[in-house]
Chains A and B, each alone.
Chain A
Amino acid sequence: EAGVTQFPSHSVIEKGQTVTLRCDPISGHDNLYWYRRVMGKEIKFLLHFVKESKQDESGMPNNRFLAERTGGTYSTLKVQPAELEDSGVYFCASSQAEPGETQYFGPGTRLLVL
């Protein structure tokens, strides 16, 4: 069974540009989560999808961040326009139907905004 995959693995962009991160969850997992680790600090929750619906987006830092989950399958996280403080590692995780189930994480996308 394939794990959670994320693309790209690394992205270097300039301030003001747009970047789109993609996450493919484990097949059949209804729950999809985005997290972020900035500057070696704690990993922080961004948002949670159940199928195609946003269940909780309380962790989204501001309206420069837009997340979608087309058809309840893969998800994208767009940052537009990117700022320096957006640099960090963006993790995606998925879990089966019950929210309390173990979350399986992808390898992360390392974003650097210059």
Chain B
Amino acid sequence: GDSVTQMEGPVTLSEEAFLTINCTYTATGYPSLFWYVQYPGEGLQLLLKATKADDKGSNKGFEATYRKETTSFHLEKGSVQVSDSAVYFCALLRWGGKLIFGQGTELSVKP
């Protein structure tokens, strides 16, 4: 069945460091891919998405490129801030609207 695998956390970085959170998927066809973020005490928010191969999603300085050949959708940011501390979830969308999530990666950014 379809699945999403994320790098395990927690990830701890200093402010202004470069961030990569790896995400790979297994799926039939070419599903839309998403990154959701959960800030402390809040619900899930859509961070970015890509709907087809080679699409790049971007938002708030974060980027992820839909790589069909490597079945990956890695999240990157050039310079993280303390306010980026959160749990990040990679997900794919199946027919009918069901989202399949990875296990989440907790990011902690220190000043």
Contact = CB atoms under 8 A, between A and B. Distances in A.
Interface string B86-98: 0001010101111
Interface stretch (B11-19, B58-66, B101-109): B101-109
Interface string A28-46: 0001010101001111110
B96 A107 contact: no
Given A43-B89, A91-B43, A100-B32, A33 B97 contact: yes
Interface residues of B, number: 23
A45 B43 contact: no
B36 A99 contact: no
A105 B49 contact: no
Contact of A103 (B89, B95, B97, B100): B97
Nearest to A103: B99
Interface in A8-49: 31, 33, 35, 37, 40-45, 48
Between A31, A35, A37, A48, the greatest number of chain B beta carbons within 10 A of the residue's beta carbon is seen for: A37
Contact of B97 (A44, A95, A106, A107): A95
Given A42-B103, A43-B89, A100-B32, A107 B43 contact: yes
Closest 6 pairs (CB-CB, A-B): A99-B97, A107-B43, A105-B44, A43-B101, A42-B103, A105-B43
